[in-house]
Amino acid sequence: MGFFGGPSAKDFDALNARFKEVSERSELLDEACGIGLWEAVLHNGDAMHAQSKWTWSAEFRRLIGYNNASEYPNVVQSWSDRLHPDDVAPTFAAFGGHLRDKSGNSRYDVTYRLKVRDGSYRWFRATGGCKYQPDGVTVRTCGSLTDIHEQMVLQQEARKSAEDGKIALGALLQAIASLANGDLTHRITATLPETADVLKRDFNTASDKLQGILANIASAIGSMLSGSGEISHATDDLSKRTEQQASSLEQTAAALEQITATVQKTAASARELTGFTSKARSAAEESGAVVSSAVHAMSEIEKSSGQIGQIIGVIDEIAFQTNLLALNAGVEAARAGEAGKGFAVVAQEVRELAQRSANAAKEIKALVTTSSQQVEQGVALVGRTGTALQSIVAEINNIAQLIGDIAHSAQEQSTGINEINSAVSQMDRMTQQNSSMVQETANASHALADQANQLVELVGLFKLGNEQGASPRRRAA
């Protein structure tokens, strides 16, 4: 320290007492306050000048691990050479700026790192002030050094944690924004602090799972859309075919009703024909009996004609004998002469009568012969008629049997066709119901296809990757 001017002895004693007091106070503060004190008298305001004087307190040395001035000399290099390389420029700039303020109102307050004795760097806070001497050049400056390493480390850790949190929050916000925009391919790839790494892992895992789920949903929707399209097409075709089938069944039912009516009419006609056939058979059988009677009568007539022929033969023989007798009588009458004339006349008359009887017998015989021939022909014809009538009766019996079978079959057909008609009517009703159900199914399948398209559009809002995201859209198209 320097002194300017020439003080008196009294002043000198007062100054010595004051100096002693200040020294004791300074030593006490240096030892007990826990803050390292320093001071310097700068030559021409140059801290690095060789004539500048620096003093480091024992507490200053202790804070950086040194015990005495031999280990840590009272030179500026003891301090400046131990500054962290990153802190040299800002520390000297702050100290130089403080020295250039000649008002003495500013304070020097800067933090920096000093290398301590074990070779590591610790954070300190240096505070101080300066005062210019009356010459305006020499500067006295002093201050304190406070160990703030733990505080700075905590601040750095807090700052790093805040920066890490900011990075993590930014990455997470970006990921959430991508997720909100439907991009499920985004993953957090930034290096995050250990405390936030679990968020990164959980988000990426959740995105993977969600992407896989939505990809499966998209694939399932595509399959559902394809299936619903096929179902819609099939139900449309089925609906058309069912309608056609219903129309065909309706026409079939109408045709069956007509067939039923026709078969019933045929059955009724067959029954009536059976009655007529029975009557015809009875009539034919009666005609057969009449023909048999006629044949018998003809046979009797034939027999009677034979007998008449025999009788006519007898008459012819009698006429011949009578004629012969009359001839003999005439001969005898001629022999008798006049007496035999009357008898000759009678004999002539008898002869003529016998001749007429013979002629009549011949004519009757001719007529009987003709009648006999005609009777024979009539018997033959009546016999043939009887045979024909028997054949007719047999055929009528066969026809009656066939007609009975036809009537029975027609009745069975009528019953069967009625059952078929009932079944077809029921099938028609069921087909109509099936048509309605198929139409409802078609409407439901179309609604399902529309809903599947809506799901495709909704899933299409998410970005699932080129292969996964494009599939349902292609199917939807």
Task: Measure CA of the first residue to CA of the last residue in the chain; give whole Å.
Answer: 95
Return d(Cα 115, Cα 111) in angstroms, integer. Answer: 13
Q: Are the C-beta atoms of 358 and 316 separated by less than 8 Å?
A: yes
| Residue 192 lies inside a defined structural domain of this protein | no
Q: Are the C-beta atoms of 37 and 29 separated by less than 8 Å?
A: yes
pLDDT for the residue numbered 439 = 75
Three-state SS for 370?
Answer: helix
Maximum Cα–Cα distance for the chain, whole Å?
269
Provide the strand spans (E) within 133-191. 139-147
Q: How many domains does the chain have?
A: 2
Q: In the numeric block, which tokens belong to residue 232?
A: 């819609």
| Residue 162 lies inside a defined structural domain of this protein | no
Closest CA to 61 of 79, 84, 77, 39: 79
Three-state SS for 146?
Answer: strand
pLDDT for the residue numbered 122 = 93
**In a 10 Å sphere around its CB, with 0-12 CB exposed, 13-18 middle and 19+ buried, how is residue 373 labelled?**
exposed
pLDDT for the residue numbered 26 = 61
pLDDT for the residue numbered 83 = 92
Place of tokens 């850790």: 157
Q: How many CB atoms lie within 10 A of CB 8?
A: 8
- Identify the domain boundary among 147, 168, 194: 147
Q: CA angle, corner 40, sides to 39 and 44, nearest 5?
A: 155
- Identify the domain boundary among 101, 121, 147: 147
Question: CATH code at 304?
Answer: 1.10.287.950
| Residue 215 lies inside a defined structural domain of this protein | no
Q: Are residues 138 and 253 in the same domain?
A: no
Signed CA dihedral, 148, 151, 153, 158: sign only: negative
* Domain enclosing residue 98, as ranges: 25-147
Region at 33 (left for phi over 0; alpha for psi -120 to 50; beta for the rest)? alpha
| Residue 164 lies inside a defined structural domain of this protein | no
pLDDT for the residue numbered 113 = 93
Q: Are residues 235 and 137 in the same domain?
A: no
Question: CATH code at 83?
Answer: 3.30.450.20
Return d(Cα 403, Cα 281) in angstroms, integer. Answer: 13
Q: Are residues 355 and 446 in the same domain?
A: yes
- The letter for the amino acid at 267 is A
| Residue 277 lies inside a defined structural domain of this protein | yes
Q: Are residues 273 and 380 in the same domain?
A: yes
Q: Are residues 133 and 247 in the same domain?
A: no
Q: Are residues 130 and 268 in the same domain?
A: no
Q: Exposed e or buried b for every residue in 390-423, given b needs 16+ CB within 10 A?
A: bebbeebeebbeebbebbeebbebbeebeebbee
Q: Are residues 267 and 143 in the same domain?
A: no
Ranges in the chain, pLDDT < 70: 1-8, 12, 19, 22-23, 25-34, 102-106, 136, 138, 284, 288, 291, 339-341, 343, 461, 466-477
pLDDT for the residue numbered 119 = 92
Q: Are residues 95 and 244 in the same domain?
A: no
The answer for residues whose C-beta is within 8 angstroms of residue 377's C-beta and 6 or more apart is none
pLDDT for the residue numbered 73 = 93
| Residue 4 lies inside a defined structural domain of this protein | no
**In a 10 Å sphere around its CB, with 0-12 CB exposed, 13-18 middle and 19+ buried, how is residue 141 labelled?**
buried
pLDDT for the residue numbered 422 = 79
Q: Are residues 117 and 253 in the same domain?
A: no
Chain-centre distance for alpha carbon 393: 75
Q: In the numeric block, which tokens belong to residue 222?
A: 């595509």
- The letter for the amino acid at 80 is S
Q: Are residues 140 and 251 in the same domain?
A: no
Provide the strand spans (E) within 217-291. none
Q: Are residues 414 and 289 in the same domain?
A: yes
| Residue 379 lies inside a defined structural domain of this protein | yes
- Identify the domain boundary among 119, 147, 175: 147
| Residue 456 lies inside a defined structural domain of this protein | yes
pLDDT for the residue numbered 472 = 47
Give the pLDDT confidence of 121-161 residue by residue, as tens digits: 999 988 888 877 777 676 888 888 888 888 888 888 888 87
Strand partners, 55: 39
Q: Are residues 134 and 261 in the same domain?
A: no
Q: Is the pTM of this model over 0.75?
A: no
